[in-house]
Amino acid sequence: MGDIAQNEASFYSNAEGYWKEVPPTVDGMLGGYGTISTIDLNGSKAFLHKFLGEGEGATSPGCALDCGAGIGRITKRLLLPLFKTVDLVDVTQEFLDKAKSYLGEDGKRVGHYFCCGLQDFVPENGRYDVIWIQWVIGHLTDEHLVEFLRRCQKALRPNGLIVIKDNVSYEGVVPDEVDSSVCRDLPIVHSLVARAGLHIVHEEQQKNFPKEIFQVHTLALR
Protein backbone atom coordinates (compact mmCIF):
# COMPACT_ATOMS: atom_id res chain seq x y z
CA MET A 1 0.00 0.00 0.00
CA GLY A 2 2.85 2.38 0.87
CA ASP A 3 4.41 1.85 -2.56
CA ILE A 4 1.18 2.76 -4.35
CA ALA A 5 0.79 5.96 -2.29
CA GLN A 6 4.42 6.84 -2.90
CA ASN A 7 4.14 6.20 -6.64
CA GLU A 8 0.97 8.27 -6.79
CA ALA A 9 2.61 11.13 -4.90
CA SER A 10 5.60 11.14 -7.26
CA PHE A 11 3.28 10.84 -10.32
CA TYR A 12 1.72 14.17 -9.30
CA SER A 13 4.82 15.93 -7.97
CA ASN A 14 6.85 15.01 -11.10
CA ALA A 15 4.13 16.47 -13.30
CA GLU A 16 4.04 19.68 -11.25
CA GLY A 17 7.83 19.90 -11.56
CA TYR A 18 7.63 19.42 -15.32
CA TRP A 19 5.08 22.21 -15.85
CA LYS A 20 7.00 24.63 -13.62
CA GLU A 21 9.81 24.49 -16.22
CA VAL A 22 7.54 25.09 -19.22
CA PRO A 23 7.47 28.65 -20.61
CA PRO A 24 4.08 30.40 -20.19
CA THR A 25 3.39 30.66 -23.94
CA VAL A 26 0.95 29.04 -26.37
CA ASP A 27 3.83 26.96 -27.75
CA GLY A 28 4.72 25.88 -24.20
CA MET A 29 1.11 24.88 -23.48
CA LEU A 30 1.07 22.75 -26.64
CA GLY A 31 4.43 21.04 -26.17
CA GLY A 32 6.04 22.84 -29.10
CA TYR A 33 3.02 22.38 -31.38
CA GLY A 34 1.74 25.96 -31.13
CA THR A 35 0.93 25.88 -34.86
CA ILE A 36 -2.01 23.50 -34.25
CA SER A 37 -3.77 25.92 -31.88
CA THR A 38 -6.14 27.45 -34.46
CA ILE A 39 -7.07 24.04 -35.95
CA ASP A 40 -7.74 22.78 -32.43
CA LEU A 41 -9.87 25.77 -31.43
CA ASN A 42 -11.90 25.75 -34.65
CA GLY A 43 -12.67 22.06 -34.11
CA SER A 44 -13.70 22.73 -30.51
CA LYS A 45 -15.91 25.66 -31.54
CA ALA A 46 -17.76 23.56 -34.11
CA PHE A 47 -18.19 20.82 -31.50
CA LEU A 48 -19.58 23.17 -28.83
CA HIS A 49 -21.97 24.91 -31.23
CA LYS A 50 -23.89 21.62 -31.52
CA PHE A 51 -25.07 22.12 -27.93
CA LEU A 52 -25.31 25.87 -27.36
CA GLY A 53 -28.33 27.89 -28.39
CA GLU A 54 -32.03 28.27 -27.77
CA GLY A 55 -34.70 25.69 -27.26
CA GLU A 56 -35.33 22.64 -25.13
CA GLY A 57 -32.22 20.78 -24.01
CA ALA A 58 -29.81 23.47 -25.21
CA THR A 59 -26.83 24.30 -23.03
CA SER A 60 -26.90 27.85 -21.69
CA PRO A 61 -23.97 30.24 -22.44
CA GLY A 62 -23.72 31.33 -18.80
CA CYS A 63 -20.62 30.04 -17.04
CA ALA A 64 -17.81 27.70 -18.15
CA LEU A 65 -14.85 26.10 -16.35
CA ASP A 66 -11.50 25.63 -18.12
CA CYS A 67 -9.67 22.68 -16.50
CA GLY A 68 -5.90 22.55 -16.85
CA ALA A 69 -6.28 26.04 -18.25
CA GLY A 70 -2.60 26.98 -18.42
CA ILE A 71 -2.25 30.58 -19.60
CA GLY A 72 -5.86 30.63 -20.83
CA ARG A 73 -5.41 29.67 -24.50
CA ILE A 74 -8.81 27.93 -24.59
CA THR A 75 -10.46 30.50 -22.32
CA LYS A 76 -9.37 33.37 -24.59
CA ARG A 77 -10.34 31.99 -27.97
CA LEU A 78 -13.08 29.45 -27.26
CA LEU A 79 -14.83 29.99 -23.94
CA LEU A 80 -14.86 33.77 -23.37
CA PRO A 81 -16.33 34.43 -26.86
CA LEU A 82 -19.19 32.01 -26.07
CA PHE A 83 -19.84 32.35 -22.31
CA LYS A 84 -20.63 35.27 -20.03
CA THR A 85 -18.23 34.07 -17.29
CA VAL A 86 -15.30 31.65 -17.27
CA ASP A 87 -13.36 30.19 -14.34
CA LEU A 88 -9.83 28.79 -14.78
CA VAL A 89 -8.18 26.01 -12.79
CA ASP A 90 -4.54 24.98 -13.18
CA VAL A 91 -1.83 23.48 -10.99
CA THR A 92 0.80 26.09 -12.00
CA GLN A 93 0.44 29.55 -10.44
CA GLU A 94 2.81 31.15 -12.98
CA PHE A 95 0.47 30.17 -15.82
CA LEU A 96 -2.55 31.68 -14.07
CA ASP A 97 -0.59 34.88 -13.39
CA LYS A 98 0.30 35.06 -17.09
CA ALA A 99 -3.35 34.44 -18.03
CA LYS A 100 -4.36 37.71 -16.39
CA SER A 101 -2.37 39.69 -18.96
CA TYR A 102 -2.80 37.22 -21.85
CA LEU A 103 -6.62 37.41 -21.68
CA GLY A 104 -6.60 41.21 -22.01
CA GLU A 105 -9.86 43.17 -21.63
CA ASP A 106 -12.04 40.05 -21.79
CA GLY A 107 -10.27 38.79 -18.67
CA LYS A 108 -12.66 41.04 -16.73
CA ARG A 109 -15.25 38.31 -17.30
CA VAL A 110 -13.16 35.68 -15.52
CA GLY A 111 -14.89 34.73 -12.28
CA HIS A 112 -12.13 32.82 -10.47
CA TYR A 113 -8.55 31.67 -10.95
CA PHE A 114 -8.06 28.45 -8.96
CA CYS A 115 -4.51 27.14 -8.44
CA CYS A 116 -5.09 23.46 -7.74
CA GLY A 117 -4.50 19.97 -9.16
CA LEU A 118 -7.72 18.44 -10.50
CA GLN A 119 -7.29 15.46 -8.15
CA ASP A 120 -7.97 17.90 -5.28
CA PHE A 121 -10.25 20.42 -6.99
CA VAL A 122 -13.91 20.57 -5.98
CA PRO A 123 -15.97 22.71 -8.38
CA GLU A 124 -18.93 24.55 -6.90
CA ASN A 125 -22.18 22.57 -7.14
CA GLY A 126 -24.58 23.80 -9.82
CA ARG A 127 -22.32 26.59 -11.14
CA TYR A 128 -21.28 25.53 -14.66
CA ASP A 129 -22.98 25.17 -18.03
CA VAL A 130 -19.85 23.68 -19.60
CA ILE A 131 -16.81 22.11 -17.94
CA TRP A 132 -14.03 21.90 -20.54
CA ILE A 133 -11.27 19.37 -19.74
CA GLN A 134 -8.56 19.37 -22.42
CA TRP A 135 -5.15 17.68 -22.51
CA VAL A 136 -5.12 17.07 -18.77
CA ILE A 137 -6.87 13.74 -17.94
CA GLY A 138 -3.54 11.96 -18.46
CA HIS A 139 -2.29 13.71 -15.34
CA LEU A 140 -4.93 11.95 -13.19
CA THR A 141 -4.93 8.36 -11.97
CA ASP A 142 -7.98 6.29 -13.01
CA GLU A 143 -9.49 6.59 -9.55
CA HIS A 144 -8.96 10.35 -9.34
CA LEU A 145 -10.34 10.87 -12.85
CA VAL A 146 -13.53 8.99 -11.98
CA GLU A 147 -13.91 10.96 -8.73
CA PHE A 148 -13.24 14.26 -10.48
CA LEU A 149 -15.85 13.52 -13.17
CA ARG A 150 -18.39 12.74 -10.45
CA ARG A 151 -17.67 16.10 -8.81
CA CYS A 152 -18.01 17.79 -12.20
CA GLN A 153 -21.42 16.22 -12.74
CA LYS A 154 -22.64 17.78 -9.48
CA ALA A 155 -21.20 21.13 -10.60
CA LEU A 156 -23.35 21.27 -13.75
CA ARG A 157 -26.39 23.45 -14.25
CA PRO A 158 -29.49 22.01 -15.98
CA ASN A 159 -28.55 20.86 -19.53
CA GLY A 160 -24.90 21.38 -18.62
CA LEU A 161 -22.13 19.50 -20.34
CA ILE A 162 -18.72 18.06 -19.48
CA VAL A 163 -16.34 17.98 -22.45
CA ILE A 164 -13.16 15.90 -22.49
CA LYS A 165 -10.76 16.56 -25.37
CA ASP A 166 -7.58 14.55 -25.19
CA ASN A 167 -5.00 12.31 -26.78
CA VAL A 168 -6.06 8.72 -27.28
CA SER A 169 -3.65 5.80 -27.66
CA TYR A 170 -4.22 2.99 -30.15
CA GLU A 171 -4.09 0.32 -27.48
CA GLY A 172 -3.83 0.25 -23.70
CA VAL A 173 -2.14 2.83 -21.50
CA VAL A 174 0.99 4.58 -22.79
CA PRO A 175 3.04 6.30 -20.05
CA ASP A 176 5.02 9.48 -20.69
CA GLU A 177 7.97 9.69 -18.31
CA VAL A 178 8.86 13.22 -19.46
CA ASP A 179 5.74 15.03 -18.20
CA SER A 180 4.57 12.24 -15.84
CA SER A 181 1.29 11.46 -17.59
CA VAL A 182 -0.48 8.58 -19.31
CA CYS A 183 -2.37 8.28 -22.59
CA ARG A 184 -5.32 5.85 -22.50
CA ASP A 185 -7.08 4.14 -25.38
CA LEU A 186 -10.72 4.96 -26.16
CA PRO A 187 -12.28 1.84 -24.54
CA ILE A 188 -10.49 2.68 -21.27
CA VAL A 189 -11.66 6.31 -21.40
CA HIS A 190 -15.22 5.07 -22.10
CA SER A 191 -15.08 2.68 -19.13
CA LEU A 192 -13.89 5.44 -16.75
CA VAL A 193 -16.66 7.76 -17.96
CA ALA A 194 -19.20 4.98 -17.31
CA ARG A 195 -17.74 4.35 -13.83
CA ALA A 196 -18.32 8.03 -13.06
CA GLY A 197 -22.01 7.56 -13.88
CA LEU A 198 -21.87 9.68 -17.03
CA HIS A 199 -22.96 8.87 -20.56
CA ILE A 200 -21.49 10.07 -23.85
CA VAL A 201 -23.93 12.24 -25.80
CA HIS A 202 -21.57 12.98 -28.68
CA GLU A 203 -18.03 12.03 -29.70
CA GLU A 204 -15.75 12.88 -32.60
CA GLN A 205 -12.11 12.80 -33.65
CA GLN A 206 -10.22 16.06 -34.24
CA LYS A 207 -9.21 16.31 -37.88
CA ASN A 208 -6.15 17.86 -39.58
CA PHE A 209 -3.65 17.34 -36.78
CA PRO A 210 -0.05 16.32 -37.62
CA LYS A 211 0.27 12.59 -38.36
CA GLU A 212 3.03 12.05 -35.81
CA ILE A 213 1.00 13.00 -32.72
CA PHE A 214 -1.61 10.90 -30.93
CA GLN A 215 -5.14 10.97 -32.33
CA VAL A 216 -7.32 13.39 -30.37
CA HIS A 217 -10.96 12.70 -29.50
CA THR A 218 -13.61 15.00 -28.05
CA LEU A 219 -16.37 13.58 -25.87
CA ALA A 220 -19.45 15.41 -24.59
CA LEU A 221 -20.77 13.90 -21.35
CA ARG A 222 -23.82 14.29 -19.18
Length of the chain: 222
Q: What percent of the chain has pLDDT over 70?
A: 98
pLDDT digits (tens, 9 = 90+) for 136-191: 999 999 999 999 999 999 999 999 999 999 999 999 999 999 999 999 999 999 99
Give residue-wise pLDDT tens across range 17-48: 999 999 999 999 999 999 999 999 999 999 99
Angle between helices 186-195 and 142-154 (to 10 degrees): 50
Residue ranges of domains in the chain, CATH in brackets = 2-221 (3.40.50.150)
Contact in structure between 162 and 222 (CB atoms under 8 Å): yes
Q: What pLDDT score does 4 carry?
A: 63
